Structure 1
C-alpha cells in the first residue's frame, strides 16, 4: 500500500535495475518526452501541453494570448497534479514475478498512534437500528456519525448489544460538531448530546464538520455567519474534551490545505484526520499527499460519487469503471473503493442495503488493481464534486503547501 496511488516498484527483489550501469536498465519516460513523441509543439521548437496534436492541428492559445492562466489543467509545469505516473511502459520490459495471495492492511495508523479501519460505515439517513446490527455482523467496526444527521440515537440502539457485551474497544466511533455549534459552550453541549445518544462512553474521533461557523437557528437554506466563533476558540473546547477523556482524537472535515496549516500553527492537540470528498473524479492528490506528510490522514467520504436516488451517478456508472470492474471480476462499487484504499486512503461508505454493505467490505483486502487498471481509472479525474452546497466556496486547490513554480512565476 502506498499514499500516492502506486504499487510497490516492479524491480523489488532484483539487483538494482534502476541504476544506469545495470544491464537491464531502461530510462523512465517523462512528461516532456511523452508530449514530444506525440507531436505536441508550441511552434518554437519546444514541447507544449496545450496543443490538441495530430494531423496538422495548431496549438491552443497560450495564457498570455488568452488573458488568463491554466495552471490547474496544464501538464509538465511545476508540480504534477494529474494521474500518478506509471513509469516505464516499453514492450520489452520484464513482467514482475508472480506474487502470493494479496493481503492489504485493514487499518491505518494515525499520527497519534490510534488505528483507523480502512473501510468505515456511514450512518447518514440510517433510520433503523437493524442496519447497524447487520453492519456489525458483517465486520464493520468504524461508524461515522454526526450531530447533524439527527439519528445518533438510532445508531446507539444498533450498537447497544455489542457495547453491552463489553466490546467497546473493538469499535471506532466518529462524530462531528455542526456549523451552529462552533462556540465553546456549544461544542461541549453537542458532544455530550452525541455521547448520550450513542451510549459509547467516549468518541474515538471528533471532527469539525465544516470550516463554517453559523449563528444559532441557521439552516442549510439560510446560513448566517457567526463572526464571533473563531476556529481557535472552538478547537480549544475540543482539546478540553480530549483532556477529560471524552474524546480520543481530533480532526476536521472539508478543510483546505491552507486551513489545516493555519489550525496546526496554533493548536495544542493536532488534528489527525481531514475527512473530505475523494474518488476518481475528485482525487485531490496535493491535499492527500501534503497532509499525509504533515501527519494528517485524509479519509474519503462519498467514495462512490453521488447518490443515484437523487440523480444519475456518472462516476459509479462510467463505462471505464464498468469495463475495469468486469475485467477484474468485481463490482463497480468495489472498484471505486479499492482505488482509494489502495492509495492508503480510508473510506466511509454509506448504504442501508445489507447486500451492498457486504459487497463494500467482504474480500476487499485480498486483491489489488493492476498498473493498467489504475491508470485507466486515474483518467476520470476532472475535479468534480458531488457534495457541493451553494453556501460553500471551495478554496483554490493549489493554495497551501509549497506553491507550484508556475504560480510563483505568475505563469
Structure 2
C-alpha cells in the first residue's frame, strides 16, 4: 500500500512547536520503537517532538471519585503515561493524583479524548477547555478523537444522534480543526484519533493541516490489525493498543492468558501470561496502556522490559488472530460512515 502524500501545509513552524514544550526538562527518553523501551520512561517521539511512553496506565472503567488512588499508585510505581477521556468522568481524579504524586508535570504524558457527543468546532473547543480545567494542567500532551462517529443508542431515543447536526464531514472539518487550533495555541503537544479505520485515517490525511500522531485501537491476539499497523508505520502514526489483556465489553468468553502460545512463552521466559501479551504487542510495534487497581499487578504489567519473545513465539501468537472484536460490543469502527 503506497504512502499518502503529506500535505504541504502539514509542517508546523518551529515557533508553534516550541509553544507546546513543557516548562521544565522532561526525563522521558526517546527510543526508535516500542520494543526497544527499557523502562517506563522510554517511548517513541511523536510528530511534533513529544515523547510518548511505550507502556502507560489506562483508566477505563475507573469510576469518578475512585480513580485518584490507583492513578497516584501507578505514578509512584513509575508509570509516566496516563490515559483518560472526557466520557470516563475521571479527569479530575487524574489531575488530583498527579498533584499528590509529586511527579513533575513535564515528566508525565497525559492523554485524554473528546467524546463522540462533542463533535464539531465549538463543542470540541468547549469540551477541551473543560478537560483542561478538570485535569488542572496548562497543556495536554495528546488530545484525541474518541470515536469517528456521533453518539447513538441509550439514553438517546431510537433513530437520534448527538450532536443533532452531525454529518461525517464534521469530524475532519469541525472537530479536527478545533484540535489544530488548540495545538497552535500551545495547549496540546500532539493530536490523535481513537478507533479509526484505514478509511477514516486516509480521509483525515487528505484534509488535515497537522497530522495525527497516534491511533489508539483494539489490538490483541484475536484482533491482529496488521494492515492498519503497517499503514500507520508508513505514515509516521503511532499505533497504541487497548484491550491487550482482554475486554469484557462484548461478554468475552475467552481468557487470553490461557492461549497455548501465551502459556508456552510465559513458561519459557519464566514470566506471566499478562507480561507475554504486553511484550507481544510491543514486539509488534504497538504502545500499550494496561489498567489495574492492584499495586502488584501494576508492577507485573510494568515488568515487560527484561525479556524478548522470539520471532517464532510472536508468530505463534499472531496465528491466534480471528478478526474478533470485543470492545464497543464487537462493532467494527469501519462501519461508521
Name the CA shift for 1:358/1:223 in 2 (closer, same or farther; >3 Å): farther
Name the CA shift for 1:157/1:292 in 2 (closer, same or farther; >3 Å): same
Q: CA RMSD in A?
A: 2.4
Query: 1:50-107 deviations in whole A, cap 9, x for unaligned?
Result: xxxxxxxxxxxxxxxxxxxxxxxxxxxxxxxxxxxxxxxxxxxxxxxxxxxx964531
Residues 1:370 and 2:306 aligned together: no
Aligned to 1:258: 199
Aligned to 1:214: 151
Residues 1:388 and 2:334 aligned together: no
Residue 119 of structure 1 deviates from its aligned partner by 0.5
Query: 1:315-351 deviations in whole A, cap 9, x for unaligned?
Result: 2322331222112111010000000111221111111
CA contact under 8 A between 1:307 and 1:313: conserved in structure 2?
Answer: no
Q: Partners in 1 of 2:158 and 2:298 — Cα distance?
A: 34
Q: Partners in 2 of 1:300 and 1:388 — Cα distance?
A: 15
Residue 375 of structure 1 deviates from its aligned partner by 2.2
Aligned length: 290
Q: Partners in 2 of 1:310 and 1:389 — Cα distance?
A: 8
Superposed, 1:312-391 pairs within 5 Å as: 312-362=253-303, 364-389=304-329
Residues 1:158 and 2:97 aligned together: yes
Aligned to 1:196: 133
Q: Specify the SS of the correspondent of 1:286.
A: helix
Structure 2 gaps of 5+ residues are 1-34
Q: Partners in 1 of 2:248 and 2:157 — Cα distance?
A: 20
Aligned to 2:109: 172
Residue 198 of structure 1 deviates from its aligned partner by 1.1
Q: Specify the SS of the correspondent of 1:140.
A: coil
Greater helix share, 1 or 2? Answer: 2
Residue 311 of structure 1 deviates from its aligned partner by 4.7
Q: Specify the SS of the correspondent of 1:176.
A: strand
1:140 to 79, 83, 86: 79
Q: Partners in 2 of 1:189 and 1:308 — Cα distance?
A: 29
Residue 166 of structure 1 deviates from its aligned partner by 7.0
Structure 1 gaps of 5+ residues are 1-101, 397-411
Name the CA shift for 1:236/1:347 in 2 (closer, same or farther; >3 Å): same
Superposed, 1:3-402 pairs within 5 Å as: 104-105=37-38, 106-126=42-62, 127-162=66-101, 165=102, 167-214=104-151, 219=155, 224-225=160-161, 226-229=164-167, 230-231=170-171, 232-307=173-248, 311-362=252-303, 364-389=304-329, 392-395=331-334
Query: 1:144-164 deviations in whole A, cap 9, x for unaligned?
Result: 0000001111222211134xx
Query: 1:148-196 deviations in whole A, cap 9, x for unaligned?
Result: 001111222211134xx57111010000000110021111111111111
Query: 1:336-392 deviations in whole A, cap 9, x for unaligned?
Result: 000011122111111112111110003x222100122222212111111110337x4
Name the CA shift for 1:103/1:287 in 2 (closer, same or farther; >3 Å): closer
Residue 220 of structure 1 deviates from its aligned partner by 7.8
Q: Partners in 1 of 2:281 and 2:156 — Cα distance?
A: 29
Q: Specify the SS of the correspondent of 1:173.
A: strand
Residue 394 of structure 1 deviates from its aligned partner by 3.7
Residue 261 of structure 1 deviates from its aligned partner by 0.9
Q: Partners in 2 of 1:223 and 1:357 — Cα distance?
A: 42
Question: Runs ≥4 in structure 1, deviation > 6 angstroms?
Answer: none
